[in-house]
Structure 1
Amino acid sequence: MASTVTPTVNRRTKIVATIGPASESADMIARLIGAGVNVFRLNFSHGSAEQHARVARRIRKQAAIANRYVGILADL
Protein backbone atom coordinates (compact mmCIF):
# COMPACT_ATOMS: atom_id res chain seq x y z
CA MET A 1 0.00 0.00 0.00
CA ALA A 2 2.03 2.96 -1.27
CA SER A 3 1.43 6.23 0.48
CA THR A 4 2.06 9.86 -0.26
CA VAL A 5 1.09 11.00 3.21
CA THR A 6 1.66 14.61 4.14
CA PRO A 7 3.45 14.91 7.49
CA THR A 8 0.89 15.01 10.30
CA VAL A 9 2.26 18.34 11.51
CA ASN A 10 0.96 20.03 8.36
CA ARG A 11 -2.21 18.02 7.84
CA ARG A 12 -5.42 19.31 9.40
CA THR A 13 -7.70 16.54 8.12
CA LYS A 14 -7.84 13.33 10.13
CA ILE A 15 -8.36 9.86 8.69
CA VAL A 16 -10.67 7.51 10.61
CA ALA A 17 -10.71 3.78 9.82
CA THR A 18 -13.36 1.41 11.15
CA ILE A 19 -11.85 -1.87 12.31
CA GLY A 20 -13.80 -5.03 11.56
CA PRO A 21 -13.10 -8.70 10.90
CA ALA A 22 -11.42 -7.97 7.56
CA SER A 23 -9.13 -5.27 8.97
CA GLU A 24 -8.23 -6.35 12.51
CA SER A 25 -5.03 -8.26 11.73
CA ALA A 26 -1.72 -6.78 12.90
CA ASP A 27 -0.52 -6.60 9.29
CA MET A 28 -3.57 -4.67 8.10
CA ILE A 29 -3.43 -2.30 11.08
CA ALA A 30 0.25 -1.61 10.33
CA ARG A 31 -0.60 -0.95 6.68
CA LEU A 32 -3.40 1.43 7.65
CA ILE A 33 -1.10 3.33 10.01
CA GLY A 34 1.46 3.54 7.22
CA ALA A 35 -1.23 4.90 4.90
CA GLY A 36 -1.93 7.74 7.34
CA VAL A 37 -4.80 6.63 9.57
CA ASN A 38 -5.05 8.85 12.67
CA VAL A 39 -8.00 7.22 14.49
CA PHE A 40 -9.27 3.64 14.60
CA ARG A 41 -13.00 3.21 15.25
CA LEU A 42 -14.21 0.12 17.10
CA ASN A 43 -17.93 -0.60 16.67
CA PHE A 44 -19.07 -1.83 20.08
CA SER A 45 -22.42 -2.96 18.65
CA HIS A 46 -20.61 -6.06 17.40
CA GLY A 47 -18.11 -8.32 19.15
CA SER A 48 -17.21 -8.89 22.78
CA ALA A 49 -15.33 -6.76 25.29
CA GLU A 50 -12.43 -9.23 25.11
CA GLN A 51 -12.28 -8.96 21.33
CA HIS A 52 -12.25 -5.15 21.45
CA ALA A 53 -9.55 -5.15 24.14
CA ARG A 54 -7.44 -7.51 22.02
CA VAL A 55 -7.82 -5.30 18.94
CA ALA A 56 -7.03 -2.15 20.96
CA ARG A 57 -3.80 -3.76 22.24
CA ARG A 58 -2.94 -4.74 18.66
CA ILE A 59 -3.50 -1.14 17.49
CA ARG A 60 -1.31 0.25 20.31
CA LYS A 61 1.46 -2.26 19.53
CA GLN A 62 1.49 -1.45 15.81
CA ALA A 63 1.41 2.29 16.52
CA ALA A 64 4.43 1.91 18.83
CA ILE A 65 6.30 -0.06 16.17
CA ALA A 66 5.55 2.72 13.66
CA ASN A 67 6.47 5.36 16.27
CA ARG A 68 3.11 7.07 15.70
CA TYR A 69 0.29 8.11 17.99
CA VAL A 70 -3.16 6.99 16.84
CA GLY A 71 -6.47 7.42 18.61
CA ILE A 72 -9.02 4.73 19.33
CA LEU A 73 -12.68 5.71 19.04
CA ALA A 74 -15.18 3.52 20.90
CA ASP A 75 -18.48 3.77 19.02
CA LEU A 76 -21.20 2.70 21.42
Structure 2
Amino acid sequence: MALPFIRSKIVCTIGPASSDPETLDAMIAAGMDVVRINTSHGSHDEHRA
Protein backbone atom coordinates (compact mmCIF):
# COMPACT_ATOMS: atom_id res chain seq x y z
CA MET A 1 0.00 0.00 0.00
CA ALA A 2 1.50 3.32 -1.07
CA LEU A 3 1.46 6.23 1.34
CA PRO A 4 -0.15 9.45 0.10
CA PHE A 5 2.31 12.18 -0.87
CA ILE A 6 1.62 15.27 1.23
CA ARG A 7 3.23 18.50 0.08
CA SER A 8 4.46 21.19 2.45
CA LYS A 9 2.42 24.34 2.18
CA ILE A 10 3.78 26.77 4.78
CA VAL A 11 7.55 26.98 5.24
CA CYS A 12 8.75 29.33 8.01
CA THR A 13 12.21 30.61 8.84
CA ILE A 14 13.11 30.57 12.53
CA GLY A 15 15.52 33.23 13.76
CA PRO A 16 16.18 35.19 16.94
CA ALA A 17 12.82 37.00 16.79
CA SER A 18 10.81 33.79 16.49
CA SER A 19 12.69 31.28 18.61
CA ASP A 20 10.69 31.49 21.84
CA PRO A 21 8.20 28.67 22.57
CA GLU A 22 5.11 30.91 22.52
CA THR A 23 5.91 32.20 19.03
CA LEU A 24 6.63 28.69 17.74
CA ASP A 25 3.33 27.44 19.21
CA ALA A 26 1.48 30.28 17.47
CA MET A 27 3.19 29.48 14.16
CA ILE A 28 2.23 25.80 14.46
CA ALA A 29 -1.36 26.76 15.31
CA ALA A 30 -1.41 29.02 12.23
CA GLY A 31 -0.54 26.05 10.00
CA MET A 32 3.26 25.95 9.74
CA ASP A 33 4.36 22.71 8.01
CA VAL A 34 8.14 23.06 7.72
CA VAL A 35 10.77 25.00 9.68
CA ARG A 36 13.97 26.41 8.20
CA ILE A 37 16.56 27.56 10.74
CA ASN A 38 18.34 30.82 9.93
CA THR A 39 21.92 30.25 11.11
CA SER A 40 23.31 33.54 9.80
CA HIS A 41 22.48 35.18 13.15
CA GLY A 42 23.59 33.97 16.58
CA SER A 43 26.32 31.65 17.79
CA HIS A 44 26.85 27.91 17.32
CA ASP A 45 25.78 27.32 20.93
CA GLU A 46 22.48 29.16 20.37
CA HIS A 47 21.70 26.99 17.33
CA ARG A 48 22.43 23.77 19.21
CA ALA A 49 19.86 24.61 21.90
Same fold? TM cut 0.5: yes
Q: How big is the shift at 1:22?
A: 1.6
Are 1:47 and 2:30 counterparts? Answer: no
TM-score (norm 1): 0.49
Over 4 Å off, 4+ runs: none
Aligned residues: 45
Distance 2:19 2:26 in 1: 11
**1:1-76 correspondence runs (5 A):** 12-54=7-49
Provide the TM-score with structure 2 as the length reference. Answer: 0.69
Q: What's the Cα RMSD here?
A: 1.9
Greater relative contact order: 1 or 2 (C-alpha under 8 angstroms, separation 6 or more)?
A: 2
Change beyond 3 A, Cα 1:27–1:17: same
Mark the runs of 5 or more structure 2 residues left unpaired by the alignment: none
**Residue type at the aligned position of 1:34:** A
How big is the shift at 1:21? 1.9
Letter in 2 for 1:16: V
Encode CA deviations 1:26-64: one digit per residue, 9 max, x unaligned: 00001101111011111122212221122xxxxxxxxxx
- Identity of aligned pairs, percent? 47
- Max Rg structure: 2
